[in-house]
A and B are shown apart, each in its own frame.
Chain A
Amino acid sequence: MGFADADLAAIWLTLRLAGVTTALLLLTGTPIAWWLARTRSGWKGPVGAVVALPIVLPPTVIGFYLLLAMGPHGPVGQLTQSLGLGTLPFTFWGLVVASVFYSMPFVVQPIQNAIEALGERPLEVAATLRASPWDCFWSVVLPQARPGFLTAGILGFAHTVGEFGVVLMIGGNIPGVTRVVSVQIYDHVEALEYAEAHWLAAAMVIFSFLVLLALYTLNPTGRRK
């Protein structure tokens, strides 16, 4: 007994989704985290709250609104249609967009904390040593806040892998496109295929444990040698 082809397809899809999502999350979350860590603007509170919303909202709420927003009559849907991209629900990229939104706080917050902990001084020092802000980001912020970025990447990846409710709402359960591991497990359970469900579910448990283990090993107490 082991993984059926459909299970392997779901695993591969899930890893691909989590990988693409994590890359996009780091790309978009870093500037947001940077801004949140350093701004003195009055918008800091509202923006931070919006970013954190997915932590408290049930996935069904997010999925429902994404379904409406990305649908043919929703604002996002109108935009993607006018760009000739069609609509996003039931597509891989629809899941990516939803996952990016859904996992954003798990990426933004560790990076924001790391940048805040870094403080202003290293940036000022770099500036007096001829480093432009861009240069400084790569040569000082990134290496010094590396544990924060690692945490963000791992959490973003793991959270996307574990995502279920939102995928269910906008995925449409299309094999190889939107049928990810969590949905596959759900289907197995619903179809009373408990043995198959066990294989995948156990794999998820082990994966999640390893991820958290990696996290705690990498950042024991934030102290580094």
Chain B
Amino acid sequence: MQPTRLFVPLFALLCAFSVRAAEVSVAVAANFTAPMKAIAAEFAKDTGHQAKLAFGATGKFYAQIKNGAPFQMLLSADDETPAKLIQEGMAVADSRYTYAIGTLVLWSAQPGYVDAKGEVLKKGRFNKIALANSKLAPYGKAAVEVLSGMGLINAVAPKFVQGENISQTFQFASTGNAELGFVALSQVMKNGKIASGSAWIVPSKLHSPIRQDAVILAAGKGNAAAEALMKYLQGDKARAIVKSYGYDI
């Protein structure tokens, strides 16, 4: 303990001389709020760089970035938005990295309502099923793929209630207004377990992967902290945090 205590300020001092501590302003998809806070804290501790985080909907960030928002990095909720930004020259071409892969889960606030194989979908004895807007949100798109693959899409579609994003979808299901919901595992998992209700973790082969890509934006080009954070995300420590929140990587 003792040597570390001495070492930290010394290390910081060294850093100040060698790599100047910098700041990066990051737009983060709302679903990644909790893990990103944890990662940013570790990042600051380990590198001395500061990540200033803004959380929100990816589509909104896209509009803001196109209109001059000074974000230097984007942790998107999907893989399309970063691709599009690169194509439009708004992001650094080779900086794209899949920092997390979302896990879809069929969940109910009622314990025992969802069986381990998702048979509840076939029985069809529910009034409403919540999913994220399939046009906008990757989790919604994945949910539709799952239902299509099971041949249930036509039977279940009339029971859809769509949240604008995955948080709202969770809200519909957690308040019981919809008996079932396709939500993110990260929303219902705590300490590696399903915290409440009942869930079926949808096998990833049933839908195309829910890739969440990060990209350095034009404004962040050459920013040392941005580059450091991108690198940090790929490190073991960050990957462990991501996994602990129910994401794949």
Query: Mostly helix, strand, loop or mixed at chain B's interface?
Result: mixed
**Given known contacts A172-B163, A189-B59, A192-B59, A72 and B176 CB-to-CB distance under 8 angstroms:** yes
CA distance A137 to B161 in the complex (A): 44
A49 smallest CB distance to B (angstroms): 27
Contacts of B160 in A (CB 8 A): 172, 174
- Chain B interface: which of A35-43, A84-92, A126-134? A84-92
* A172–B176 touching, CB < 8 Å: no
**Given known contacts A168-B164, A174-B160, A192 and B62 CB-to-CB distance under 8 angstroms:** yes
Q: Does A166 contact B (CB under 8 A)?
A: no
CA distance A89 to B178 in the complex (A): 9
Q: Which one, B127, B130, B135, B176, contacts A191 given CB within 8 A?
A: B135
Q: Does A190 contact B (CB under 8 A)?
A: yes
Q: Does B2 contact A (CB under 8 A)?
A: no
Please provide the chain A residues from 148 to 188 with a CB less than 8 Å away from any CB of chain B in the complex.
168-174, 183, 186-187
Contacts of B95 in A (CB 8 A): none
Contacts of A191 in B (CB 8 A): 59, 135-136
Q: Does B133 contact A (CB under 8 A)?
A: yes
- Chain A interface: which of B20-28, B167-175, B194-202, B241-249? B167-175
Give the one of B63, B171, B175 with max A CB within 10 A: B175
CA distance A99 to B220 in the complex (A): 44
* A73–B176 touching, CB < 8 Å: yes
* A169–B168 touching, CB < 8 Å: yes
* A187–B172 touching, CB < 8 Å: no
Which chain B residue shows the least CB distance to A190? B59
Q: Tally chain A residues at the interface, Cβ within 8 Å.
A: 25
Which chain A residue shows the least CB distance to B63? A189
Contacts of B136 in A (CB 8 A): 187, 190-191
Q: Which one, A68, A86, A186, A187, contacts B127 given CB within 8 A?
A: A86
* B164–A173 touching, CB < 8 Å: yes
A145 smallest CB distance to B (angstroms): 40
Contacts of B63 in A (CB 8 A): 189, 192
Q: Does A62 contact B (CB under 8 A)?
A: no
Contacts of A186 in B (CB 8 A): 164
**Given known contacts A172-B130, A172-B172, A189-B59, A67 and B177 CB-to-CB distance under 8 angstroms:** yes
CB-CB contacts of A113-139 with B at 8 A, as 1s and 0s? Answer: 000000000000000000000000000
**Given known contacts A71-B175, A190-B164, A192-B59, A173 and B133 CB-to-CB distance under 8 angstroms:** yes
CA distance A69 to B60 in the complex (A): 30
Q: Does B162 contact A (CB under 8 A)?
A: yes
* A89–B177 touching, CB < 8 Å: yes
* A87–B177 touching, CB < 8 Å: yes
* B127–A172 touching, CB < 8 Å: no
A165 smallest CB distance to B (angstroms): 11
B205 smallest CB distance to A (angstroms): 27
* A187–B133 touching, CB < 8 Å: yes
* A72–B177 touching, CB < 8 Å: yes
Contacts of B59 in A (CB 8 A): 189-192
CB-CB contacts of B151-192 with A at 8 A, as 1s and 0s? Answer: 000000000111110001001100111100000000000000
Contacts of A67 in B (CB 8 A): 171-172, 175, 177
Contacts of A72 in B (CB 8 A): 176-177
Q: Which residues of A contact B (CB under 8 A)?
A: 64, 67-68, 70-73, 86-87, 89-90, 168-174, 183, 186-187, 189-192
Instruction: List 6 additional contacts besides A70-B177, A89-B161; criterion CB under 8 Å.
Output: A64-B171, A90-B178, A168-B164, A169-B171, A189-B63, A192-B59
6 A–B pairs (Cβ distance < 8 Å), ordered by A = A64-B171, A71-B177, A89-B172, A172-B130, A174-B162, A190-B164
Q: Which residues of B contact A (CB under 8 A)?
A: 57, 59-60, 62-63, 84, 127-128, 130, 133, 135-136, 160-164, 168, 171-172, 175-178
Q: 10 closest A-B pairs (Cβ-Cβ)?
A: A172-B161, A190-B59, A173-B162, A71-B177, A90-B161, A89-B177, A190-B136, A71-B175, A72-B176, A71-B176
